[in-house]
């Protein structure tokens, strides 16, 4: 049996801060680009997701104790993680139509606005991809610069779902709490996401933007 705590190297009584810290370390080690494997990467993300649900639910029901959850099958293999469905919207469309990021009907309005497919649409994020990588693989030119979590050029606004942030050296806590994330190293940990990309032009992100370079999309 391999529990979420085993995967992240934590004791059963680890708190939310411990989980977040362990996840940030393990997900980078497990990434295929860093010498890990897709299977290991999937396992780390599933462990983080299970423990995140514990923290949100208060872990009041012993029957759902994450310590009792086995993340592998009878053969010891990791259960396959399915691609995550993402609905996206370009902030420029919001600005053009005078909509608001806080509008609960934002994506419904977008679906009726006959927007270009690059401005509003859907994509799949594979288990070993960041949100930005999935957008690029799908042929979309979302903004980015450093790719290392040190600027907000690639920032998105999270409307629905969960996007983990293993490396973030720039986003202030108050903006993260509002729903801003970095797509360059943001990995989905929910089955579906709704995000607004291209939010770098918002005034509150001005001081977090890098100037364009030869290989960036500003």
Q: How far apart are CA 125 and CA 155, in angstroms?
A: 17
β partners of residue 197 = 90, 156
Q: What is the pLDDT of residues 86-133, one digit of tens each?
A: 999 999 999 999 999 999 999 999 999 999 999 999 999 987 789 999
What is the average pLDDT across 173-191? 91
Q: Domain 84-208 sits in which CATH superfamily?
A: Beta-grasp domain (3.10.20.30)
Listed residue (77, 32, 69) closest to 48, CA to CA: 69
- Convert the pLDDT of each residue in 135-168 to its tens digit: 999 999 999 999 888 999 999 999 999 888 777 6
pLDDT band at 214 (very low <50, low <70, confident <90, very high): very low
CA-closest candidate to residue 166, choices 150, 144, 145, 149: 149
Output the pLDDT for position 218: 55
How far, in Å, CA of 197 to CA of 217, rounded?
A: 13
pLDDT tens-digit series, residues 49-98: 888 777 666 654 545 577 777 676 655 565 666 789 999 999 999 999 99
Which helix (H) or strand (E) segment is 177 a member of? helix 173-178
* Chain centroid offset of residue 211 CA: 24
Residue 137: the pLDDT is: 96
Question: Chain centroid to CA 140: how far?
Answer: 17
By the 8 A CB rule, do 120 and 90 touch?
A: yes
Domain(s) labelled CATH 1.10.287 in the chain stretch across 4-68
User: Does the pLDDT value for residue 4 go beyond 90?
Assistant: no
Of 1.10.287, 1.20.1070, 1.10.150, 3.40.50, the CATH number of 4-68 is 1.10.287
Question: Look-up: residue for tokens 């999309």?
Answer: 217
Confidence class of residue 35 from pLDDT cuts 50, 70 and 90?
A: confident
pLDDT tens digits, 185-210: 898 888 899 999 999 999 999 999 98
According to the model, what pLDDT value does residue 205 have?
95
Residue 15 CB neighbours (<10 A):
10
Residue found by looking up tokens 């004791």 in the block: 11
């Amino acid at each position: 049996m391999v529990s979420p705590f085993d995967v992240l190297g934590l004791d059963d009584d680890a708190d939310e801060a411990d989980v977040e810290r362990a996840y940030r370390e393990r997900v980078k080690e497990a990434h295929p680009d860093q010498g890990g494997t897709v299977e290991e990467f999937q396992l780390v993300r599933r462990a983080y997701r299970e423990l995140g649900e514990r923290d949100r639910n208060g872990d009041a029901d012993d029957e759902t104790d994450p310590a009792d959850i086995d993340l592998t099958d009878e053969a010891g293999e990791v259960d396959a993680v399915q691609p995550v469905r993402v609905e996206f919207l370009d902030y420029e469309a919001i600005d053009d139509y005078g909509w608001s990021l806080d509008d609960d009907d934002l994506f419904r309005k977008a679906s009726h606005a006959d927007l270009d497919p690059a401005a509003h649409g859907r994509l799949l994020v594979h288990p070993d991809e960041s949100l930005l990588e999935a957008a690029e693989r799908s042929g979309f030119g979302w903004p980015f610069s450093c790719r290392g979590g040190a600027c907000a050029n690639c920032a998105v606004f999270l409307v629905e779902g969960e996007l983990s942030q293993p490396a973030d050296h720039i986003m202030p806590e108050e903006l993260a709490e509002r729903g801003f994330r970095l797509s360059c190293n943001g990995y989905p940990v929910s089955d579906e996401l709704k995000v607004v990309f291209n939010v770098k032009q918002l005034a509150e992100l001005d001081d977090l933007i890098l100037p364009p370079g030869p290989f960036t999309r500003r």
